[in-house]
Amino acid sequence: MRIGDQSHENTQRKPRTKVRSLMKLGVSERLAIACGITSKGPCRSSKTKGINIALGNNYLASQGLVSLRDIWINIHYGR
């Protein structure tokens, strides 16, 4: 099993599905279309503005994921 096989981006093969999902997450229609119809792979497209708007830190925290930055600060500074 390769790293990233179970990622959210890999589960959406069709551009229409990607565009619809991005719009549900608050991305504008124009930006969602630009991100959804790209031929970039999941790793490269994860760095685009539309994906970062849709899957920002607030969204990831609401899904139960922890921030590695916050963990590092706690360990390094002992707060």
Contacts of 23 (CB under 8 A, 6+ apart): 29, 32
Q: Are 57 and 35 in contact (CB under 8 A)?
A: no
User: Which residue is listed with tokens 């179970």?
Assistant: 6
**pLDDT score recorded for residue 23:** 93
Tell me the average confidence (pLDDT) per consecutive run of 10 residues in the chain, 79 residues long.
49 84 93 90 88 91 91 87
Domain boundaries, the chain: 9-77
CA dihedral of 47, 49, 54, 58, whole degrees rounded to 10:
80
Q: Are 37 and 19 in contact (CB under 8 A)?
A: yes
Whole-structure pTM value:
0.69
**pLDDT score recorded for residue 34:** 92
User: Which residue is listed with tokens 């500074």?
Assistant: 77
